[in-house]
């Protein structure tokens, strides 16, 4: 059967750089950092004292007191991003709700609620269980998709995808396939994470995964630079409306870009480290190119996974050269985690949204925090990481990479939309 085309007709986000799409894009173009000292708890006893928090988020603006008792922060952020994307897409009132789905990826779900509830139980000291009746719905990763569907009345496919830091990229694949196969007209898809809490920061510190540049948090995330020492954890949510092309055109929807291919592979190598030669990462990008039925040399930009870890960045750089050969040196590459931080399970959706905006505006966002002389001698110097300054150029096709603990690799391939 002929697969249906999939386009993006609505965008929404709340993240360390902004509470909506417009402010986020402006911050990216200005090279702003979302990092700063952790305010959500006292982190002074940890090796890392900073993160990329969503700033000035007031749940009272969105939820009454009773509703807040039911929701973890990750669900709240997911709803805020989803609502912006849903309004932006402007589906007509007559749209059949059974044909619109919601798929939200998350790696950790309500981890802060889980920690809080266990801590409070232990502090009671009487051995009697003191758990909230909302504990389970607050912590399960699928609750964000369910909550959004309930409040927007969307009755199509509804679930969560979990694949560590590739979680929400996998959500895009699932949504794309539902639309391609005619099982939905549209899917509100995205990711959300709100894991800045002691158990999360402590766990990543124990893995030696986080940067410890406590004296300079704003420039701590340094993807592909020699002085990189780990990622900066971030929180936030991003959602888009994926829609069947003919359906979107018929209703006169505004189209930002087209999602034309994806790849999904496994390293089968290590629990937390990538294959150092980037074999699985190279395959996943080529799988996306094959799925889109284009040539590898038609890809102009890659929004890299680029977490600022010593091993991960080197492996991805090798994978890009392995996959694209000489064309790798003609592409622009960038890691926007240098500004947003690493949103973990939400990063795939966040960077899919940024990649879409890059195609839409024909501008490559930068990889910030790189200093002259800080080039990594192990990374091919011919690769263009778009350091520090955005670059305007013609962009036809762009890939967004997302890799996760467990060896999960995902790549989404987007096409500029020009009314073809």
User: Cα torsion at 64, 171, 191, 185 (round to 10°)?
Assistant: -50
> Active-site residue among 49, 178, 305, 408?
305
Catalytic annotation on 160? no
- How deeply is 179 buried, as exposed, middle or buried, from its count of CB atoms within 10 A (0-12, 13-18, 19+)? buried
As to burial, measured by CB atoms within 10 angstroms (0-12 exposed, 13-18 middle, 19+ buried), residue 311 is middle
3-state secondary structure of 394: coil
Other beta carbons less than 10 A from residue 80's beta carbon? 24
Of the candidates 19, 49, 178, 342, the residue annotated as catalytic is 342
Secondary structure element (H or E) that encloses residue 259, with its range = strand 257-266
Q: Where are the alpha helices (DSSP H) in 96-193?
A: 111-124, 135-139, 143-152, 167-180
Q: Is the dihedral of CA 384, 386, 391, 394 positive or negative?
A: positive
Q: Is 270 a catalytic residue?
A: no
Q: Is the dihedral of CA 252, 254, 257, 262 positive or negative?
A: negative
Catalytic residue among 52, 165, 197, 239: 165
Is 165 in the active site?
A: yes
Cα 296-300-304 angle, rounded to 5 deg: 95
- Which residues does the annotation mark as catalytic? 165, 305, 342
């Amino acid at each position: 059967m002929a697969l249906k085309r999939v386009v993006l007709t609505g965008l929404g986000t709340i993240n360390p750089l902004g509470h909506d799409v417009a402010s986020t894009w402006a911050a990216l173009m200005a090279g702003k950092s979302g990092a700063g000292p952790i305010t959500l708890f006292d982190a002074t006893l940890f090796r890392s004292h900073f993160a990329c928090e969503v700033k000035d988020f007031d749940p009272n603006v969105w939820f009454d007191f009773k509703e807040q008792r039911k929701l973890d922060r990750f669900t709240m952020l997911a709803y805020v991003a989803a609502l912006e994307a849903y309004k932006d897409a402007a589906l007509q009132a007559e749209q059949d709700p059974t044909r619109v789905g919601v798929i939200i990826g998350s790696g950790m779900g309500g981890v802060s609620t889980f920690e809080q509830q266990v801590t409070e139980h232990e502090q009671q000291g009487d051995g009697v269980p003191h758990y909230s009746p909302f504990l389970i719905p607050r912590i399960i990763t699928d609750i964000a998709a369910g909550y959004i569907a309930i409040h927007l009345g969307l009755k199509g496919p509804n679930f969560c995808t979990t694949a560590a830091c590739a979680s929400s990229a996998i959500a895009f694949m699932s949504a794309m396939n539902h639309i391609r196969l005619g099982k939905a007209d549209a899917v509100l898809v995205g990711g959300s994470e709100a894991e800045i809490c002691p158990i999360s920061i402590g766990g990543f510190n124990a893995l030696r995964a986080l940067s410890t540049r406590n004296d300079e948090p704003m420039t701590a995330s340094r993807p592909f630079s020699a002085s990189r020492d780990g990622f900066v954890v971030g929180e936030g949510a991003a959602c888009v409306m994926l829609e069947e092309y003919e359906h979107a055109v018929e209703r006169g929807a505004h189209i930002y870009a087209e999602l034309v291919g994806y790849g999904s592979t496994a390293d089968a190598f290590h629990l937390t480290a990538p294959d150092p030669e980037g074999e699985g990462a190279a395959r996943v990008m080529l799988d996306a190119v094959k799925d889109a039925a284009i040539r590898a040399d038609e890809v102009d930009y890659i929004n890299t996974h680029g977490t600022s870890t010593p091993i991960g960045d080197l492996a991805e750089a090798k994978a890009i050269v392995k996959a694209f050969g000489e064309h790798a040196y003609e592409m622009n590459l960038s890691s926007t985690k240098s500004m947003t931080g690493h949103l973990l399970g939400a990063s795939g959706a966040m960077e899919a949204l940024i990649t879409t905006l890059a195609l839409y505006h024909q501008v490559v966002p930068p990889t910030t925090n790189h200093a002259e002389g800080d080039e990594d001698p192990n990374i091919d110097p011919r690769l263009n990481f778009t350091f520090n300054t955005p670059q305007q150029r013609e962009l036809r096709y762009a890939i967004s990479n997302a890799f996760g603990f467990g060896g999960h690799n995902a790549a989404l391939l987007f096409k500029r939309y020009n009314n073809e």
